[in-house]
Amino acid sequence: MASVPVFNPAAPADAIEMTKQAFKLSAEIKLPMIVRTTTRVSHSRGIISYKNIQDENRSPRFERMPEHINIPARTAAAHTRLLDKLKHKSVLELLSMNSKIILNGSKAKLGIISSGVATSYLNEILYQNNISEKVNLLDLGMIHPFPEKEVLSFLKNDFQKILVLEELDPFVENAVRTLAQKNKIENEIIGKGFSGLTTTGEFSIDIITRTLGDFLQVTLNNRKNIPIENSESFLQSLPPRLPTLCAGCPHRATFYLLKLAIPREQSELILCGDIGCFGLGALPPLKMIDTINHMGMSISMAQGIYESFNSSQSSKKVVALVGDGTFFHSGLSSLINAVYTRANILVVIFDNRTIGMTGHQSHPGASQHLPKYQEIDIPPLLKGLGIEVVEIIIPFNLRDGFEKLNKAMAHKGVSVVIAKGPCIFLPDFKEKIDERMKIVVDENLCNACANHENISLACSRCYSPKNNLSRAKAKLFAEVSIPGEEQLCPANICNHGFFNSILEGDYKSAVEIVRDKMLFAQTCGDICHRPCELFSTREKVVPIKALKKLVSFMDENFYDFSLPISRVKNAVNKNKSVAIIGAGPAGLSAAYDLVQAGYDVTVFEKEKKAGGMITYAIPDFRMDKAGFDFEAMQLKEMGVTFHFNSSLGKDFTIEKLSGEFDSVILAIGLSKSKTLDVIENNIPVEKRTDALSFLKSFYLKENKIKNGANILVIGGGNSAIDAARAAKKLNSKNKIIVSCIETENTMPAFAEEVKPAAEEGIDIIHDSYIESISAVKEGKFNIVLHSFSNKKHLQNLKFDYFITAIGQTTEPLIIEILPKDENTRVRSTNGFTGYKNVFVAGDIKSGNNMSVIGAIASGKKAAVSVRQHLENYPFEYEGAKALEWLNENSTVHVRQVNTVTTNNLREEIEQFNLYQACMKCNHCIDNFGCPAMIKINGKVEIDESRCTLCGLCIDVCPNNAIRWEQ
């Protein structure tokens, strides 16, 4: 007890009386005093009277005396003088005055010695239960020096038992036991350990009630009240209410910055915290503190952790977080030691210009007593210590703060970041606030889905605070910000969710997001012509296709189809059947959507394999055929029935199917190649073919062109280039020339296909057509090429073989019954042909873009039309906007491809922010947690009564849903 008198008040009235006594005694015996107020006493209020407080006017004086110099030779004598003071007459008088004995005569055989707040509990229980007369009491108001005389006189009453009640250590109890032993008093003394009394934590009414009952061997309940019944179920799982940093607190901004700069999940970084308001950063949602111990310990702890890890090879930076008040109080000496030992630590000083937690007091770095006191500026102080990296950040400036934090993290040695922003209770904070403004949330952008009108549709984007943190980071630091609506997919794949999953490193979810909407993740990664990238006119766009290829070619993602299969299992069976004619990308896509919606789906295909043009017309050097076969055949696993080798017109008719099924989707493609008279009339049939037949025989390895042939391919589309490249692959000595009427910039073939063709030695003669053909010897033919634009002669060439690739058309006879356009493609309204229950999709549908993604999208759209027809499905096709764009812009030239590899992946994609509203966002609540943000019915709202208009949430929201309003 430091050999000073200790007063131990039990209630506010004691506290004021004892404080007065302590001051008086202190002056008298020239010693400091302790008035020991514990938490419960400090947080109590009661009626007190100040009475007369004497204001003594003393003038300071100092006398030179040997007693002021406590060198070792004099300490023993000083110690004696100190102990003598405790025997002073005034001390003894106060000991007696503050020890209150209440004896209740012969009936009461039990004694209780209590001190501090325990006395208040005891008095209340004795009085309220009307049992005061059953015990004798000694209340000790002073516990040091120990009031031996008073305690001894109490003990000498020969009680059966004596109970000692005091919080924490058995200080009184041990002193009583010692006293009893010295005086040969053998009555039983009980205290800690009795009736569950412990040396930790606080006492309470309930604890003392129990103990007193045990001591008196009676059952006590509080004032004989009958407790209410069955409250357990109402008390179970009540949500906790943890304290949180105030709305507008600069510390929250600093923690948010730390979250952005130091992703905790990805690193083993240790953050040592300290005492103060900002210690709340240890609690959810911030959770950016790993240790809090004694005041100022953050820095010494970080230094110590660094030292211990440093000796075992790893020398990772450790972070110390300290408030400005604590920094001056006890952080500075630790910091000096950290600099001295060259510890590799980052110290973040949370400088809110006050000591917030205890009521906004001054400290040497932020004085409210200028000019009486001098304020100390932290940066020159730190520079003076030789710390090289000292950065000042304004926590509300996220971009600047992020950069400086990263710089400080990268520095080896002690670096310091001072996060300087005034506490919201200081005038400095309020001065910056424009109270005419308010902050509002646009509910259309907050927790809304920009992709889906029907939000019950599958969404595989993981809801994860971490994932949303990456989105928020992208918003702040990406060079290119693109609204999601600029990179839409005609198949309505959520490109936003897809991209952000990859940004987060969650490639599996990315593949699942594709598969939420479409079967062909890998195939589209190979051959889609990327309308999602063409849709935007920006210089740089997110390379969706390349990313799709990257993630879908990872085996562990690709071969796991369990999620779509489980969706079929969980779907409510609609008890409706749909026949799909044609197993190309359109038919299969319709089947994929319908089977997941609970329909019975049967697919009829004239070939022996699924895929249509993808299987038979796109050569294997452009795509992974095995991957496609796997994808297509997942439909069987999902419960789709296939009838192969089954042709329309031969094996069945549209009329027949429309009678047998609830709906029919016609998706047979354009299987008949267009012909060119000049070829038909001049070249014998064995010397010519069309691109589709040629590519099919290439796929089936049934080609019979002799090696070293000169081959002319006629056409400027992808089939022409595919056929040319396939012909070159057959034999490298084959000489291939492509003649097309279009220029380099207008030819419909994808630039990314034309380029490798040129590299493989294939010549393309643009703006040309065959003016005439004449046979020459040895089966060769002489071709005269003219310019298409000015009809002038270009050149004469000799060829052995001819492939025409000028497009496809329908076989009108088998679809006689349906309405057709001028190109004999089937007309429809939203996919409905107008005939009975027959719908149309894919290349055969009038006006539909002839591409893989165009076919897929039209298949999906037909599936929606079928659902509207059969089940009153209330939604329109959700990819309509992108599909419309695609159909109207069929000749847009394809840009050069961006390749993305795992080597440069992060660098490539971190430059982008592809943003839009998302249902699976809870970012501001999860990672920021301002108490002024409340979630009501799934949307965040700003509680104006709590909002301090700091405005940081506007930067935090990854959806741009929050803004200022006048």
- Residue pair 753/738 in contact (Cβ under 8 Å)? The answer is no
Q: At CA 157, angle to CA 152 and CA 160, rounded to 5?
A: 110
Residue number with CB closer to other proteins (249 or 862): 249
Q: Which stretch binds other proteins (CB under 8 A): 85-93, 486-494, 645-653, 926-934?
A: 926-934
Closest CA to 412 of 315, 337, 322: 315
Site for other proteins in 844-883 (CB under 8 A): none
**One residue of 8, 37, 136, 209 binding other proteins per CB under 8 A:** 209
45 near other proteins, rule: CB under 8 A: yes
| Nearer to other proteins (CB atom), residue 210 or residue 827 | 210
User: Across-strand partners of 770?
Assistant: 785
Nearer to other proteins, 126 or 900 (CB): 126
- Least distance from C-beta 49 to other proteins, angstroms? 12
Phi and psi dihedrals of 405, rounded to 5? Answer: -65, -40
Nearer to other proteins, 40 or 825 (CB): 40
**Cβ pair 104, 136 in contact under 8 A:** yes
Asked if 298 contacts 331 with a C-beta cutoff of 8 angstroms, the reply is: yes
Q: Which of 879, 814, 931 is nearest to 452 (CA)?
A: 879
CB of 931 to other proteins, least distance (A): 5
Residue of 38, 104, 174, 244 interacting with other proteins (CB under 8 A): 244
DSSP 945: T
Instruction: Give the interface segment with other proteins, choosing from 93-101, 123-131, 192-200, 747-755 (CB under 8 A).
Output: 123-131
Residue 600 pairs in a beta bridge with 577
- By CB under 8 A, which span of 144-152, 240-248, 792-800, 887-895 interacts with other proteins? 240-248
For residue 257, what are the CA distances in angstroms to 262, 277, 287, 321, 404?
Answer: 8, 17, 13, 13, 10
User: To 10 degrees, the CA torsion angle through 277, 282, 284, 286?
Assistant: 80
Q: Is 50 in the site for other proteins (CB under 8 A)?
A: no
Non-local CB neighbours of 590 within 8 Å, separated by 6+ positions:
578, 580, 665, 667, 841, 859, 860, 862, 863, 866
**Closer Cβ to other proteins, 360 or 643, answer by number:** 360
Query: Which of 54, 225, 313, 891 is close enough to bind other proteins by CB under 8 A?
Result: 225
The answer to whether 480 contacts other proteins (rule: CB under 8 A) is no
Helix (H) or strand (E) holding 387: none
228 lies in the binding site for other proteins (CB under 8 A): yes
- The answer to whether residue 922 forms part of the interface with other proteins (CB under 8 A) is yes
The binding track of 314-353 with respect to other proteins, each residue x by CB under 8 A or -, is: ----------------------------------------
Q: Which of 73, 238, 572, 685 binds other proteins (CB under 8 A)?
A: 238
Q: C-beta of 167: minimal distance to other proteins in Å?
A: 13
Burial of 833 (0-12, 13-18, 19+ CB in 10 A): buried
In 10 A of CB 508, how many CB atoms? 16
Stretch that binds other proteins, among 102-110, 220-228, 633-641, 780-788 (CB under 8 A): 220-228
Stretch that binds other proteins, among 94-102, 223-231, 301-309, 737-745 (CB under 8 A): 223-231
Size of the site for other proteins (CB under 8 A): 56
As measured in angstroms, the least distance from the Cβ of 924 to other proteins is 10
Cα distances (Å, whole numbers) of residue 816 to 163, 655, 813, 841:
106, 11, 5, 17
Convert 101-138 to b/e letters by CB count within 10 Å (16 or more is b). ebeeeeebebbbbbbbbbbbbbbebbebbebbebbbbb
Could you count the other beta carbons within 10 Å of the beta carbon of residue 355?
21
CB 127, min distance to other proteins, A:
4
Shortest Å, Cβ 202 to other proteins: 10
Tell me whether the omega of the peptide bond preceding residue 371 falls within 30 degrees of 0, making it cis: yes
- Note whether 558 and 522 are within 8 A (CB): yes
- Residue 4 or 282: the one with the smaller Cβ distance to other proteins is 282
Q: Quick one: tokens of 420?
A: 């300087």
By the rule CB under 8 A, 934 interacts with other proteins: yes
Q: Is residue 956 near other proteins by the rule CB under 8 A?
A: no
Q: In what order do the strands lie in the sheet with 793-799?
A: 768-775, 781-787, 793-799
Among 180, 196, 199, which residue's Cα sits nearest to residue 188? 180
* Residue 726 to residues 615, 619, 676, 701, 723, Cα–Cα distance (Å): 14, 7, 21, 11, 5
Instruction: Give the nearest distance from C-beta 429 to other proteins in angstroms.
Output: 14
The correct pick among 469, 933, 961, 962 for binding other proteins (CB under 8 A) is 933
Residue 581 tokens read as: 């004619």
Out of 47, 65, 71, 76, the only residue in the binding site for other proteins (CB under 8 A) is: 47
Regarding 887 and contact with other proteins (CB under 8 A), the answer is no
User: Does residue 246 touch other proteins according to CB under 8 A?
Assistant: yes
Contact of 256 with 288, CB cutoff 8 Å = no
Q: Is 222 an interacting residue with respect to other proteins (CB under 8 A)?
A: yes
> CA 199 from chain center: how many Å?
43
If one asks whether residue 697 binds other proteins (CB under 8 A), the answer comes out as no
User: Out of 8, 120, 300, 577, which residue is the one contacting other proteins (CB under 8 A)?
Assistant: 120
Please identify which residue in 910, 931, 954, 960 interacts with other proteins, judged by CB under 8 A.
931
Q: Does 100 bind other proteins (CB under 8 A)?
A: no
> Is residue 234 near other proteins by the rule CB under 8 A?
yes
Residue 280 in the binding site for other proteins (CB under 8 A): yes
Binding segment (CB under 8 A) for other proteins, from list 244-252, 394-402, 534-542, 713-721: 244-252
> Could you say which of 100, 223, 650, 836 contacts other proteins (CB under 8 A)?
223
Looking at the Cβ atoms of 253 and 613, the one nearer to other proteins is 253
Using the rule CB under 8 A, is 201 a contact of other proteins? no
From candidates 32, 72, 240, 427, binder to other proteins by CB under 8 A: 240
Give the interface with other proteins as residue ranges (CB under 8 A): 11-12, 40, 43-47, 120-121, 123-124, 126-128, 204-206, 209, 221-223, 225-231, 234-235, 237-246, 277, 280, 284-285, 357, 922, 925-926, 929, 931, 933-935, 945-946
